[in-house]
Amino acid sequence: MIRIKNLHKSYPIGKDSLHVLKGIDLHIKEGEFVSIMGSSGSGKSTLLNIVGLLDEHDEGEYYLNGQEIKNLNEKKGAVLRNKFLGFVFQSFNLISYKTALENVSLPLYYKGVSRKERQKIALDYLDKVGLKDWASHLPNELSGGQKQRVAIARALVTQPKVVLADEPTGALDSTTTDSVMDLLKDINNEGMTVFVITHEEEVADQTKRIVRLKDGIITSDTINVQRKPVKTV
Amino acid sequence: MFDLDRWREIFQSINKNKLRSVMSGFTVAFAILLFTLLFGIVSGLKNTFEGAFVDDAVNSMIVRVWKTTKPFKGLQSGRRIQLKNPDYDYLADKYDSKIDLMTARIFKNFSISYENKQDNYSVTAVHPDHQFLEKTIIDEGRYINQLDINESSKVIVIGRLIKADLFGEKPALGKRVNVGGISYKVIGVFSDDGGDNEERIAYIPVTTSQKLYGNNEYLNQIRIGYNQDLNLDEAIAFGNLIERDMKSKLDIHPDDQSALSVRNMAEGRKGVDDFMIALFFIVVFIGSGTLIAGIIGISNIMIFVIKERTKEFGIRKALGAKPSSIVGMVVQESVLITTIAGYLGLTLGTYILSLIGNSLERDYFIKDPSVSQGLVIGATFVLIISGLIAALVPARKASQIKPVVALRAD
Ligand SMILES: Nc1ncnc2c1ncn2[C@@H]1O[C@H](COP(=O)(O)OP(=O)(O)O)[C@@H](O)[C@H]1O
Ligand SMILES: [Mg+2]
């Protein structure tokens, strides 16, 4: 699904440049549940943004669903994101003047789905994250955990190949963290590839594979055998 | 391309961000409002100046005489100048090709009575052409004609208000009125755009006046309507020529304006024309200034709005919005706001003009201030195009920002 070879990324800072990713090799297969662990500033978000086509890499190769990502223009990037990727951000990134339902149906609008169809599908996904009754609420009327669940519904609504989550629980307390992680596990159990960034051991512990990043280099990549049992659906 | 979903997005965005929409709309509405008022008032001024000439034929001049103020050829100053029939005939013969209309004028005041009603009125003795030079409108009957002149008929054409005074609702045509003790037959009733005073006048034939009152050849003024083919400058030159000619004929010092002068409508007309041209340039200057201010206003607001929405655009792009969809949305929203606001400004401006129109005419002599729809629609169109460009440039730029950068914006 995702294949990365010797990936490099630097940020220009004045005249100098900050070398953030220093040769990453990573292969994520369809249906995996992977977490990237690492301390703050280790380059996790940078990696995820490149994987999510929100940013470009400088060197190396990146294949998404078998297609090499190279010199992508904004238009092609938008189409690929819409088709293959779903995003969950730490700060939710919901559009403040749109209701939960409208936020969830927005990716379908860009996919070209008809309005009626959009609303039906979006409502199904809100139901799936347990927020059907909140469909007509604006984001500022929702709690942090609810917002993140809306964001997850929005990430899933186009049935992408991969869900990318950058510290999805970073702004949540432990109870809501668990409910969000349960949701991600459910999604993965249904066969979706899930790629989570975190710096919390408890969160990483609930994933099937843990990749550790330090100073832009992968230091370990392990199958998480003693992960907590998945809640039976 | 009509995309209902796109319009829904736009209406939602406008609706949920009312302040922002009102702000950008206000700039445009205000610019168009000012533009409308400015052009309305100026067109009113123009109407006023043009109205000043409605009363009298534009292509005309009046030869007037009074007393000399300069000695000339051994003649003393203070000499009374008198126009006479030979002067009239001299001008008529010599300048025949340049003269279209010509009349003499003798001013009198008489008491006019009919049955038991009577009052004092100005009576002007004229030639038939006077009708056209004064733009007299015949309501009933006819004007003085050449036969009346030849036969020195005792006929009179009375103003609408004299008729109202003396006859009321009763018919006046064919009736006999007493003019300073002599009986005249009413052959016509007229009205005049020059106002009430010009409708309280009566006209009689020149020859009748000369024969009955003093038996002389005296005239007070000679009025000439020159050929329509003369342009303003030629008309002014013609007026000057007549003035020089008459002064030498009557032994008047060439610089003695008191003794004889020619009041040439072309001169006033030229002054007004020059004034209107100057006014036109001032208006174009201020008008385009107003529009430019409006354009700068929209541009600034659009830059601000787009900056404010950068993060939203980042989110939309992460969800699969193509740059073209972002640009289209912003531009369409801007054009919609500019169009509606421009229309509001135009409507409000026209409404205000119609409200203040009467008091402007009464107090400031600005007559019928109004704007041509074409002009304002043109101005609104300019603003819509500006709204389009004002949105297009920053929206293009914003749509090309990498999502990762846009998402970091606040
Ligand atoms: N746009 C940027 N410009 C310059 N430096 C950046 C930029 N984004 C991230 N960095 C730097 O790159 C490093 C890695 O950042 P990031 O990938 O966000 O780390 P993490 O998500 O692991 O905390 C940090 O030192 C950060 O300051
Ligand atoms: Mg990070």
Would you write out chain B's pLDDT as a tens digit for each of its 410 residues?
Answer: 467 888 888 888 888 778 878 887 888 888 888 888 888 878 777 777 766 665 555 688 899 999 988 888 888 888 889 999 999 999 999 999 889 899 999 999 999 999 889 999 999 999 999 999 888 999 999 999 999 999 999 999 999 999 999 999 899 999 999 998 899 999 999 998 777 788 899 999 999 999 998 888 999 999 999 887 888 888 889 999 999 999 999 999 998 888 999 988 877 777 777 877 888 888 888 888 887 888 888 888 888 888 888 999 999 999 999 999 999 988 988 888 888 888 888 888 888 888 876 666 666 666 666 777 777 778 778 778 888 888 898 999 999 999 999 998 87
Q: How many CA atoms lie within 13 A of B201 on its CB side?
A: 22
Residue B266 CA to residue B322 CA, distance in Å, equals 67
The percent of chain B in helix, strand and coil, each rounded to the nearest 5, is 55, 20, 25
Mean pLDDT throughout A64-89? 92
Question: What's residue B58's pLDDT?
Answer: 67
Beta bridge partners of B112: B119, B179
Nearest CA in chain A to B17: A97
Which sequence spans correspond to the domains of chain A? 31-54+74-223
> Which residue of B5, B309, B319 to mutate against A (max A Cβ within 10 Å)?
B319
Is pLDDT at A151 greater than 90 in this prediction?
A: yes
Looking at the complex, report in whole angstroms how far the Cα of residue A152 sits from the nearest Cα belonging to chain B.
Answer: 12
Is pLDDT at A154 greater than 90 in this prediction?
A: yes
Question: What's residue A233's pLDDT?
Answer: 43
Question: What's residue B53's pLDDT?
Answer: 60
Does the distance separating the beta carbons of A78 and B17 come in below 8 Å?
no
Residues of chain A contacting B4 with CB distance shorter than 8 Å: 115
Question: What's residue B82's pLDDT?
Answer: 92
Residue B17: helix, strand or coil by DSSP?
A: coil
Q: Which CATH class is domain A31-54+74-223?
A: alpha beta
* Protein residue closest via CA to atom 20 of ligand 1: A41
Question: What's residue A28's pLDDT?
Answer: 95
pLDDT digits (tens, 9 = 90+) for A80-135: 999 999 999 999 999 999 999 999 999 999 999 999 999 999 999 999 999 999 99
Question: What's residue A227's pLDDT?
Answer: 57
Q: Using a CB–CB cutoff of 8 Å, tell me whether B408 touches chain A.
A: no
Determine the angle formed by the axes of helices B85-94 and B232-249, rounding to 10 degrees: 140
Mean pLDDT throughout A153-175? 92
CA angle B36, B38, B40 (to 5 degrees): 65
Q: Using a CB–CB cutoff of 8 Å, tell me whether B393 touches chain A.
A: no
If you measure from the C-alpha of residue A201 to the centroid of ligand 1, how many angstroms do you get, rounded to a whole number? 21
Is residue A90 lining ligand 1, measured as CB closer than 6 Å?
Answer: no
If you measure from the C-alpha of residue A24 to the centroid of ligand 2, how many angstroms do you get, rounded to a whole number? 17
Which sequence spans correspond to the domains of chain B? 4-52+271-408, 82-249
ipTM above 0.85, yes or no: yes
Question: What's residue A232's pLDDT?
Answer: 46
pLDDT digits (tens, 9 = 90+) for A25-43: 999 999 999 999 999 999 9
> What secondary structure does DSSP assign to chain A, as a single string?
-EEEEEEEEEEEETTEEEEEEEEEEEEE-TT-EEEEE--TTSSHHHHHHHHTTSS--SEEEEEETTEE--S--HHHHHHHHHHHEEEE-TT----TTS-HHHHHHHHHHHHT--HHHHHHHHHHHHHHTT-GGGTT--GGGS-HHHHHHHHHHHHHTT--SEEEEESTTTTS-HHHHHHHHHHHHHHHHTT-EEEEEES-HHHHTTSSEEEEEETTEEEEEEE-TTPPPPPP-
**What is the pTM for the complete model shown?**
0.71
